[in-house]
Amino acid sequence: MSAAPRILCVGTHHKTGTVWMRRVWREIAQALDIPFQPVHRPEKWAEKLPAQGRVIVPNWGGRFAPDLWEREDARFLHVIRDPRDVLLSGARYHDSTSAPTEKWLYRPDPKLGGKSYQQYMRSLARPEDKLAFEMQGMHLKTLTEMLAWPYGHARAFDIRYEDLIVDTDCTLFSKALRFMGFDEDEVETGARIFYENSIFGGLADNPDEGRTRTHVKSGKPAQWVTNLPVETAELYLRRHGADLIALGYETDETWLGRLAPGSELAETGN
């Protein structure tokens, strides 16, 4: 990695801390006078980014063009989360939100008899049915994105949401900033912004602060242990047990035994 980091890519996935990271990196960009340029269509990156100078390039589906991965001056920060918690968080959010930004959620779908994704989910009475619907819907898309990431790439820094949400002294996030090429003064600025926008930091003192707080109800790791219904867990094991192992969240398929007695869907948050 001889080239100095210039194209600073930030990748997350739906319900893996995207709103949180969007706010943090926007504020870092503003504080350090670095352009913040989301690229929603990876193949368009070259025409959107400046030819010189650093630029922060987020993609909230964790998708970046193959030729961008080949650039020596590109660095990548990636956040993933236990898919079982992603499932719980996604189902709760899609069933309850009225956020105008989620246009896809309210769009009529012929495959659902003309109902929108949210309308169809709300028509299901049992939590287990809502989770099964989510599992084959938005969750499958998110899980597919997480599995497609080139883990172990020399210019990528992979972080688990579970570690980031308890990074109260900002050690992990500071390490990521250094990997992305920030000097020590910039790391200090970035760590302060991260802390101020975290539920263990600034948001704890300002519980009504912005969109980040409305997306994060708890943030605790491994919420699936107490909130995933047994029926849903068994279905998840059949469909995605191997995926949990591939992502490093399990080493085998015996995790059903860790479910708490009487597990049920709750307000699990982000």
Say what the pLDDT of residue 147 is: 98
How large a percentage of the chain has pLDDT more than 70? 90
Tell me the pLDDT band of 213, cut-offs 50, 70 and 90.
very low
Please determine, for residue 169, whether its predicted confidence score (pLDDT) is greater than 70.
Answer: yes
> 3-class SS at 8?
strand
Say what the pLDDT of residue 269 is: 42
Taking Cα atoms as reference points, which of 74, 75, 58 lies closest to residue 23? 58
190, burial (CB in 10 Å: exposed 0-12, middle 13-18, buried 19+): buried
Q: How far apart are CA 189 and CA 222, in angstroms?
A: 30
Q: What is the pLDDT of residues 58-74, one digit of tens each?
A: 999 999 999 999 999 99
Residues 181-207 have a mean pLDDT of 89
Please determine, for residue 217, whether its predicted confidence score (pLDDT) is greater than 80.
Answer: no
Q: What is the pLDDT of residues 225-238, one digit of tens each?
A: 999 999 999 999 99
Q: Render the burial of 73-101: b for 16+ CB within 10 Å, e for the rest.
A: ebbbbbbbbbbbbbbbbbbbbbbeeeeee
**C-alpha distances in angstroms, 193 versus 18, 29, 77, 177, 225?**
16, 11, 17, 12, 31
Enumerate domains of the chain plus CATH numbers.
Answer: 7-81+146-213 (3.40.50.300), 83-140+217-258 (no CATH)
Say what the pLDDT of residue 220 is: 79
221, burial (CB in 10 Å: exposed 0-12, middle 13-18, buried 19+): middle
> 3-class SS at 80?
strand
Say what the pLDDT of residue 206 is: 60
Say what the pLDDT of residue 104 is: 95
How large a percentage of the chain has pLDDT more than 90? 82
Say what the pLDDT of residue 56 is: 98
Tell me the pLDDT band of 268, cut-offs 50, 70 and 90.
very low
Please determine, for residue 116, whether its predicted confidence score (pLDDT) is greater than 60.
Answer: yes
Say what the pLDDT of residue 46 is: 87
φ/ψ bin of 62: left (φ > 0), alpha (ψ from -120 to 50), beta (otherwise) = left
Q: What is the pLDDT of residues 14-61, one digit of tens each?
A: 999 999 999 999 999 999 999 999 998 898 888 889 999 999 999 999
Residues 79-103 have a mean pLDDT of 96
Torsion over CA of 214, 41, 173 and 165, rounded to 10 degrees? 30
Contacts of 210 (CB under 8 A, 6+ apart): 23
Long-range contacts of 167-175 (CB under 8 A, 24+ apart): 167/194, 167/198, 168/198, 168/200, 168/201, 170/194, 170/195
Q: What angle do CA 182, 186, 188 make, to 5 degrees?
A: 120
Please determine, for residue 13, whether its predicted confidence score (pLDDT) is greater than 80.
Answer: yes
Q: How far apart are CA 85 and CA 96, in angstroms?
A: 17
Residues 248-253 have a mean pLDDT of 97
Please determine, for residue 215, whether its predicted confidence score (pLDDT) is greater than 70.
Answer: no
Please determine, for residue 265, whether its predicted confidence score (pLDDT) is greater than 50.
Answer: no
